[in-house]
Structure 1
Amino acid sequence: MTIQFRAAAVQAEPAWLDLAAGVAQTLSYIEDAAAVGANLIAFPDAFVPGYPWWLWHSAVDWDGDFRARYLANAMSADGPELRAIADAARWAHTWVVLGFAERAGQALYLAHAVISPAGIVRVSRKPSPTHLEREVFDDGVGLPPVVDTELGRIGVLGGADHLCPDRRADLWREQVHVAAFSGFTEYHEVSDDIVVAVNASVSAQYARDAGVAVIASAAVAPLGGWSVRDRRSPGFVRLRGGGDVARILSSEGNDLVPPLKSGESGLLVADVVVAESADPWMDWAAG
């Protein structure tokens, strides 16, 4: 027995440090997904208000003041912004998986909201942010989300958690995997092709290892208004934007639709077929 549904993966530049604009952008993409008949739309990691890239690049201009701005534009799990997004999911009658920075008092968490077509919201927090992410984000509690749906069991991971065996094991019995990537910034001598190839191999290998369809969303990070300079040499621009693309992959790791171009914003849409059994060990034992 198989299940077929239409998936949409967002590839877009976030509305950096602007909560209201980020929510409006999210609502617009949900509306676009509804227009093409999508049953599930997946957004990038930390899409609202954008991933704090300055952490990874020793940027001189992005320290305490920037964290305060980031906190002010993060989204609370019980606030009107997430409720508006849940209302949009109900209007569109689609599942929504959204990566966002969650504000809880003065604490910040890397979070994912899984929202049902009935507007029911489940929020999970990244248990162990990376060493640099801990400069901004606190440790979450609990397991990554795995939700039983009419589309199959949907699991979600963000970014580098795809390389963590413990996090992957938490999702072993999923049937559909949402891989939420925050995009990539690049040292200016690195080509787009290398970055895209690395991330594509992570998603494809995950699909093959777990025997699941993968909906991989990606943020576009052009760094247009905030070039980051090397702390050791302020006159040298370290980064350029681009890198990473959204993909929708079969359980064999094959693209179900050609990806958008790197740096392009849009909605990637494909019909996904999910097998009733998504446990490769059970499949091996049966045959």
Structure 2
Amino acid sequence: MSGTYRVAAVQAEPVWLDVDATVDKTIALIAEAAARGASLVAFPETWIPGYPLFLWLGPVAGQMPFIARYHADSMTVDGTRLTAIREAARRHEVCVALGYSEKDHGSLYMAQSVIGPDGGVLLHRRKLKPTHVERGLFGEGDGSHLKVVDSHLGRIGALNCWEHLQPLSKYAMYAQHEELHIACWPAFGLYKGIAHALGAEANMAATQTYALEGGCFVVAPTHLLTAEGVEVFASTDEQRALLTPGSGCSRVYGPDGSMLSTPLDEHTEGLVLADIDLALIDLAKNAADPAGHYARPDATRLLWDNRPRSAVLTPGSTDAPLFPELGEPEE
């Protein structure tokens, strides 16, 4: 495990609803991050093929033209597109935390995969509960997707968006002694000035709180939204009024809650970089270790079922892992 290294949070616009072009852009950003000395580069929630903003812009009937297109542009875990990204991670010897829409036959999931510098998958998970209208498009994960894994960069975990507002889910992560957390977010230009809870200020506060509560480093990548991107989803002035260009807000936080990165302008694409030192975690947790000396198991405890769940089990079968290198599921 390396104690001191550089991390990169992507702040960029995907090529909306174009999986191949966004894969190409992903590979270019991986190369740029490696060239700038990053050991890890993190991409936003559903970076591929872009966050489905159409879900928030009107009735379900108006979403229908996007549904088949979104399915077609979602990646499978065993497909050539994810394989190309894994190969890019290996070629550039960099760890990649990727947010994407995962297609599993007829269902989609808001997935995150952490890929090691050898191209192997260190962690794969699905968002436990898609938020609000996201449930009309995506399925749910299970308790096995609250997972922290060992790596050469320390103990790594990941959550998507408003999973950072779920106290029990967060505590399940803290209890696994997470050191480096990937907090994936979409663009914050949705309902700007209308719904404060969807904005950058509130959600970066939740991200900063995660770092402080968990005593860990947090890398938070976000989407960028341009005027051209708005036009992909909005066909009326009413819909355009619900989407604001800009709204990139990528950050890196330390285990004391301090911001370690220099923010980019909300309209600027790029990589937000920070150098981190895992030794600072001991200093933070000396004051408050949420699942250690600062816990009160005599008063409150978390019941967490971390077993994978399948809709169908036949005699002698088990819930097999999607990636063989992740090993057999725990009973």
Whether TM exceeds 0.5 here: the answer is: yes
Q: Does 1:147 align with 2:153?
A: no
In structure 1, what is the equivalent of residue 326 of structure 2? Answer: none
Q: Does 1:68 align with 2:85?
A: no
TM-score (ref. length: structure 1): 0.89
Where does structure 1 lack aligned partners over 5 or more consecutive residues? none
In structure 1, what is the equivalent of residue 132 of structure 2? Answer: 131
Amino acid at match of 1:128: K
Selected match of 1:162 from 149, 161, 164: 164
More strand by share: 1
- Partner of 1:260, secondary structure, is coil
Q: Which has the larger radius of gyration?
A: 2
Instruction: Flag as ranges the 4+ runs of structure 1 deviating above 4 A.
Output: 59-62, 188-192, 233-236, 276-279
What is the CA–CA distance in structure 1 between the aligned matches of 2:25 and 2:132, rounded to whole Å?
30
In the alignment, is the contact (CA less than 8 A) between 2:159 and 2:183 conserved in 1? Answer: yes
In structure 2, what is the equivalent of residue 219 of structure 1? Answer: 223
In the alignment, is the contact (CA less than 8 A) between 1:45 and 1:158 conserved in 2? Answer: yes
What is the CA–CA distance in structure 1 between the aligned matches of 2:45 and 2:67, rounded to whole Å?
18
Q: Does 1:203 align with 2:207?
A: yes
In the alignment, is the contact (CA less than 8 A) between 2:192 and 2:199 conserved in 1? Answer: no
Query: Paired residues, what number?
Result: 282
> Displacement, 1:189?
4.5
Distance 1:171 1:63, change over 3 A: same
Per-residue CA deviation, residues 178-207 of structure 1 (Å, 9 max, x unaligned), is 111012223365699x93322221111111
In the alignment, is the contact (CA less than 8 A) between 1:186 and 1:242 conserved in 2? Answer: no
What is the CA–CA distance in structure 2 between the aligned matches of 1:283 and 1:9, rounded to whole Å?
32
> Displacement, 1:283?
6.0
Q: Does 1:181 align with 2:182?
A: no
In the alignment, is the contact (CA less than 8 A) between 1:39 and 1:95 conserved in 2? Answer: yes
Distance 1:77 1:226, change over 3 A: same
Distance 1:62 1:271, change over 3 A: farther
> How big is the alpha-carbon RMSD for the aligned residues of Structure 1 and Structure 2?
2.6
In the alignment, is the contact (CA less than 8 A) between 1:60 and 1:229 conserved in 2? Answer: no
> Displacement, 1:140?
2.2
TM-score (ref. length: structure 2): 0.78
What is the CA–CA distance in structure 2 between the aligned matches of 1:63 and 1:240, rounded to whole Å?
20
Q: Percent identity?
A: 37
Where does structure 2 lack aligned partners over 5 or more consecutive residues? 296-331
Per-residue CA deviation, residues 106-152 of structure 1 (Å, 9 max, x unaligned), is 21110001101111124211122123111101122322341211211
> Displacement, 1:239?
2.6
Per-residue CA deviation, residues 61-102 of structure 1 (Å, 9 max, x unaligned), is 841221100000001110010011011111111111000000
Amino acid at match of 1:157: L
More displaced stretch, 157-166 vs 115-124: 115-124
What is the CA–CA distance in structure 2 between the aligned matches of 1:236 and 1:42, rounded to whole Å?
29
Choose between structure 1 and 2 for higher RCO, CA contacts under 8 A separated by at least 6 residues: 1
